[in-house]
Amino acid sequence: MNEEQRKQQGQIKSELNIERIKNTSSDDMIAKYFQTNYELQAPDIKKARKRRNEEVQFNYDFSIPEDMQAIGKDKKFLIRTYGCQMNEHDTEVMAGIFTEMGYTATTEVTEADIILLNTCAIRENAENKVFGEIGHLKPLKLENPDLIIGVCGCMSQEESVVDRILKKHQHIDLIFGTHNIHRLPHLIKEAMFSKEMIVEVWSKEGDIIENLPKVRKGKIKAWVNIMYGCDKFCTYCIVPMTRGKERSRRPEDIIQEVRHLVAQGYKEVTLLGQNVNAYGKDFEDLDYTFGDLMNDIHKIDIPRVRFTTSHPRDFDDHLIDVLAQGGNLLDHIHLPVQSGSSEVLKKMNRKYTREEYLELVRKIREAIPNATLTTDIIVGFPNETDEQFEETMTLVEEVGFEAAYTFIYSPREGTPAARKKDDVPEEVKKQRLYRLNELVNKQAAESMLTYKGKTVKVLVEGESKKNPDILAGYTEKSKLVNFNGPKSAIGKIVEVKITKANTWSLNGEMIESKIEVN
């Protein structure tokens, strides 16, 4: 297509876009989508459970089609990211693809030619935020019909969400899911030249696409996906339906990525997966677990290695032994417990009891005496009794978590827990969350006090958000430290003497002679 044809097509597209937005969508149009591009599918746990034996395809051939390589010249993209690190990292991949297509990034919606909302489905309020944002973007689209607005990420994998967007938000141009990010160039092309909303959501359980470009946020810390999906099927959780089956990247691809990051000067990697310690369980030709991977990464010359999230059920003795070697394997472990009651854990399908969790904590502390533990907790699971909630409170004290992400249970369509009748009033759930947070904050503040007067190693990330004259970074145990020091320390690991402890951060003074040359 030559420039003139492109312009003409663009002109037609603008007019059609305006037409589409002005008219609320007709049922005919929606029906057409469902027949052609999108097959209506509610999250179906029975079907999802059957997928475990499906073979995973590895694809190493990603490239941007020739006609899309310069399509973004003089154009800008903006990606809003909601939810977990997995989504943040997917955004880095999409930013990489846009950059290879010639686009540059912007943070201003009014400057953007493409806006993507990379969404999270984990709780209802996360979804509400996205629908709020979709509404806010409508005037922009009316002003600039050539603007492409897309919705991707976990919400796009839900039938009810796609249905709602098709029916009520015709200013959206593009919906795609978590399994076809690598199709972004094709999808953008279709969205540019089609008169209709493009919906491409694969219910397929997912392959592994290697060699995708990435534009990482920062040059000091990096995320590295080691596996995708989840087969745990906790009864409250939508992730197994939105992210597909558990599938591990090949060890050599992960190790190569980490080595490449070292060569680029990165100082810290966080290995990512919904259940990192289920890594390797899906290999048919290889007996290689998460412990083995950590052992191999331990030998690489990168100062700091973290991982998230680990599941108590898969935390085996081999992994504990490997972590006990220390060195670059940091002794901060995020180990979501969800509840302190064995009965609730059973209803959640977590497959461990309170006692088993406590035994695991004991083993970890025996092997790694200074290990710091943090966790995730859900309060107000359907029919959780006062006594069961109190068991969560006592477990939090007993383990001495130094921080916790705490949530009120949110029913998710298609999950088994969402079908349960719930006799716990919302007000009671809120009070439980309040009490739990008070306890967690108290423990966090107490743990911070133990650092006063001590010297800690800090990976310096940059200037503090509140004061550019102050530097900020994290300790090995993920504590935020604000301190006085020279800008030359940014990107390095320095020693800082702690002078003040706050609930969620520490203040200190850098020990100048102790800048490590990395």
Q: Give the interface with ligand SAM as residue ranges (CB under 6 A).
A: 84, 122-123, 236-237, 239, 274-275, 309, 311, 336, 338, 376, 378, 407, 409-410, 412
Q: Which of 196, 193, 249 is nearest to 225 (CA)?
A: 249
Instruction: Indicate the residue among 201 and 239 with the shorter CB distance to ligand SF4.
Output: 239
Q: Under rule CB under 6 A, which residues in 211-230 are in contact with ligand SF4?
A: 230
- The per-residue DSSP string of 376-423 comes to EEEE--TT--HHHHHHHHHHHHHHT-SEEEEEE----TTSGGGGS---
The option from ligand SAM, ligand SF4, none interacting with 240 (CB < 5 to 8 A, set by class) reads ligand SF4
Q: How far is the CB of 234 from ligand SF4 (least distance, A)?
A: 3
Q: Under rule CB under 6 A, which residues in 99-158 are in contact with ligand SF4?
A: none
Instruction: Indicate the residue among 20 and 123 with the shorter CB distance to ligand SAM.
Output: 123
Instruction: Indicate the residue among 192 and 345 with the shorter CB distance to ligand SF4.
Output: 345
The option from ligand SF4, ligand SAM, none interacting with 485 (CB < 5 to 8 A, set by class) reads none
How far is residue 184 CA from its own chain's centroid? 19
Q: Under rule CB under 6 A, which residues in 308-327 are in contact with ligand SF4?
A: 311
The option from ligand SAM, ligand SF4, none interacting with 267 (CB < 5 to 8 A, set by class) reads none
Instruction: Indicate the residue among 123 and 141 with the shorter CB distance to ligand SAM.
Output: 123
Residues in CB range of 49: below 8 A, 6 or more apart: 233
Instruction: Indicate the residue among 205 and 476 with the shorter CB distance to ligand SF4.
Output: 205
Contact between 310 and 276 (Cβ < 8 Å) = yes
Q: How far is the CB of 100 from ligand SF4 (least distance, A)?
A: 31
Q: Does residue 71 interact with ligand SF4 by CB under 6 A?
A: no
The answer for 233, left when phi > 0, alpha when psi is -120 to 50, beta otherwise, is left
How far is residue 216 CA from its own chain's centroid? 14
Q: How far is the CB of 45 from ligand SAM (least distance, A)?
A: 13
Instruction: Indicate the residue among 38 and 381 with the shorter CB distance to ligand SAM.
Output: 381
Residues in CB range of 142: below 8 A, 6 or more apart: 18, 21, 171
- Here's the x/- map for ligand SF4, 269-288, by CB under 6 A: it reads as -----xx-------------
Q: Quote the strand ranges of 170-258, DSSP E.
A: 174-176, 198-200, 208-209, 221-225, 227-228, 247-248
Q: How far is the CB of 246 from ligand SF4 (least distance, A)?
A: 9
Token readout for 226 is: 């080691």
Instruction: Indicate the residue among 309 and 392 with the shorter CB distance to ligand SAM.
Output: 309
Residue span binding ligand SF4 (CB under 6 A) among the ranges 158-166, 199-207, 233-241, 481-489: 233-241
Coil, helix or strand at residue 265 = coil
Q: Does residue 232 interact with ligand SF4 by CB under 6 A?
A: yes
Contact between 373 and 333 (Cβ < 8 Å) = yes
The option from ligand SAM, ligand SF4, none interacting with 122 (CB < 5 to 8 A, set by class) reads ligand SAM
* Whole-number Å distance between alpha carbons of 115 and 300: 38
State the DSSP code for 24.
Answer: P
CA 332 → CA 97, 191, 307, 335, 402, distances in Å?
33, 44, 9, 10, 10
Q: How far is the CB of 221 from ligand SF4 (least distance, A)?
A: 23
Q: Does residue 485 interact with ligand SF4 by CB under 6 A?
A: no
Q: How far is the CB of 48 from ligand SF4 (least distance, A)?
A: 11
Q: Does residue 297 interact with ligand SF4 by CB under 6 A?
A: no
Q: How far is the CB of 5 from ligand SAM (least distance, A)?
A: 46
Instruction: Indicate the residue among 348 and 496 with the shorter CB distance to ligand SAM.
Output: 348
Q: How far is the CB of 133 from ligand SF4 (least distance, A)?
A: 24
Q: Give me the sign of the Cα torsion angle 241, 245, 250, 255.
A: positive
- Give yes or no for a cis peptide into 309 (omega within 30° of 0): yes
* Whole-number Å distance between alpha carbons of 194 and 295: 50
State the DSSP code for 510.
Answer: E
Q: How far is the CB of 301 from ligand SF4 (least distance, A)?
A: 32
- Residues binding ligand SF4: number (CB under 6 A): 10
Instruction: Indicate the residue among 266 and 307 with the shorter CB distance to ligand SAM.
Output: 307
- The per-residue DSSP string of 52-82 comes to GGSPPPEE------GGGTTTTTT-EEEEEE-
Q: How far is the CB of 57 from ligand SAM (least distance, A)?
A: 24
List of residues contacting ligand SF4 (CB under 6 A):
230, 232-234, 237, 239-240, 274-275, 311
